[in-house]
Structure 1
Amino acid sequence: MRSAAPAALALVLVVISWQVRADGPLLDLDRSARHATWDFRHALHSTLVNHLGATLSDLGGNVPAFPLLLLGGTLAAGLRRRTDSPRWWLPLPVAVLAGAAVPALVVPTKTFFARPGPFGMPLTPEQLGWYPSGHTATSTIAYGTAALLIGRELGRRARRLLYTATALLCAGVGWGLVWSDYHWLLDVLASWCLGGLVLWALARRLAPPAAEPAGPAQPGGH
């Protein structure tokens, strides 16, 4: 069962990439989602929601994502050092490698697919293309890695809260990109899949989460 999630992510990523490359019928989902979002945004006519969408999408930029990733690695290393964990410094190079993985994965892929954005304008020579979404991949990998590193030093309840908050933040970045008409929906979905695969591979390499402290023994308990 543990292999079902990464297999599903990989399958969705392959199908979307194939459809983008072949200009297949699945791209109708992009056009339908864009038109529906456009209509709803204009019907709502909320400056506040529009600013929220733009702000959330900005959270997928190199700043603040990469500085927060390094901060997360530093915090995790500090927590490990306080508990005298072996190789307490390991979260720092992990954070650096995760940050380096983003351009290594996204830039060649954008260049290969060279997909125009939602406005349909031809790419200029300095543009890489819109597929997959760089902001979505950056936020998913950077914030997800920071959460994994820190979460492994926390108790189960705090870890779940951190993971949930991180997932909601990354979902918000993707929503903001689509809402603001910065990206096609499939650009975002593909980057979520890509980021999920990176985080799954990273989680398998990291040490197990910190064990919960044992509670007081209950008399007569088994």
Structure 2
Amino acid sequence: MLVSGPLLAPDHALSRALVRTVPDSVTERLSDLGNIPVAVPVLVLAMAYAARRGRALAAGAAGLAMALVPALVIPFKEWTARPGPLEPWAAGYFPSGHTATAAVAYFGAALLVRPYTRRAWPTAAALVLTGATAAGLILRGWHWPLDVLASLLMCTPLLLGVAWADRAHRAGGAGGPGRLSRRSTRRSSG
């Protein structure tokens, strides 16, 4: 059980200062942005759009990243068994699954649609939606600040994988990695 450490005292103090400083009706709506039925459809739509535009590798990487979220979050929750800010009798609050879902869904979607917008709004929207989810969870008292921060850090490699898959696709041309170079080779040799 995760009950000691140098970061827990400041984490508890920050949580005590923030919890319920905003009405529950507001913070509950914000934290709902990290629910699977809210966040995942955004990613699925972006995946379908990217795949239709010929970026199936990046879309698949985004889907894999989302599938890996519970595979990473659940074992950590069981291992740490950290109690919640308002429910000290309950366990499994570290890391925040809602934050992880929001981060991978919204930033994954932004990575997939950004090449078609030529603007920064997809990334800004992902930042706002993920930040709103995190703030709602902390302000409502459903998660400690470190639960949320850990989720964001845990999701970073997943999102870097999506970005890498997208770059690999673009480096290989419209047909996929390496496909264009094989066509060119066939034409020159035959």
1:205 CA drift (Å): 2.6
What SS does the corresponding residue of 1:130 show, helix, strand or coil? coil
**Root mean square deviation of aligned Cα:** 2.2
Q: What CA deviation, in whole Å up to 9, does each residue of 1:107-157 have, x standing for no partner?
A: 11111111111124333xxx6x000000001100111111111113332xx
Structure 1 match to 2:176:
none
Structure-1-length-normalised TM-score? 0.69
Q: Within the alignment, does 1:193 sit opposite 2:153 as a pair?
A: yes
1:70 to 1:194, Cα distance in 2 relative to 1, 3 A = same
Structure 2 match to 1:30:
11
Q: What CA deviation, in whole Å up to 9, does each residue of 1:74-129 have, x standing for no partner?
A: 12223x24xxxxxx433442232122111111111111111111124333xxx6x0
Q: Aligned partners of 1:208 and 1:92: how far apart in 2?
A: 12
- For structure 2, the residue ranges without an aligned partner over 5 or more in a row are 171-190
The sequence identity of aligned pairs, in percent, is 37
What SS does the corresponding residue of 2:49 show, helix, strand or coil? helix
Residues 74, 91 of structure 1: 8 Å contact kept: no
1:22 CA drift (Å): 6.3
Q: Within the alignment, does 1:141 sit opposite 2:115 as a pair?
A: no
Residues 73, 97 of structure 2: 8 Å contact kept: yes
Q: Aligned partners of 1:131 and 1:189: how far apart in 2?
A: 10
Q: Aligned partners of 1:198 and 1:95: how far apart in 2?
A: 8
Residues 60, 139 of structure 1: 8 Å contact kept: yes
Residues 154, 209 of structure 1: 8 Å contact kept: no
Q: Aligned partners of 1:57 and 1:71: how far apart in 2?
A: 21
- For structure 1, the residue ranges without an aligned partner over 5 or more in a row are 1-19, 82-87, 211-222
Counterpart residue identity of residue 190, structure 1:
A
Residues 152, 209 of structure 1: 8 Å contact kept: no
Counterpart residue identity of residue 109, structure 1:
F
Residues 58, 163 of structure 2: 8 Å contact kept: no
Residues 84, 144 of structure 2: 8 Å contact kept: yes
Residues 54, 180 of structure 1: 8 Å contact kept: yes
Structure 1 match to 2:48:
74
Structure 2 match to 1:130:
93
Residues 117, 182 of structure 1: 8 Å contact kept: yes
1:91 to 1:198, Cα distance in 2 relative to 1, 3 A = closer
Q: Aligned partners of 2:81 and 2:63: how far apart in 1?
A: 27
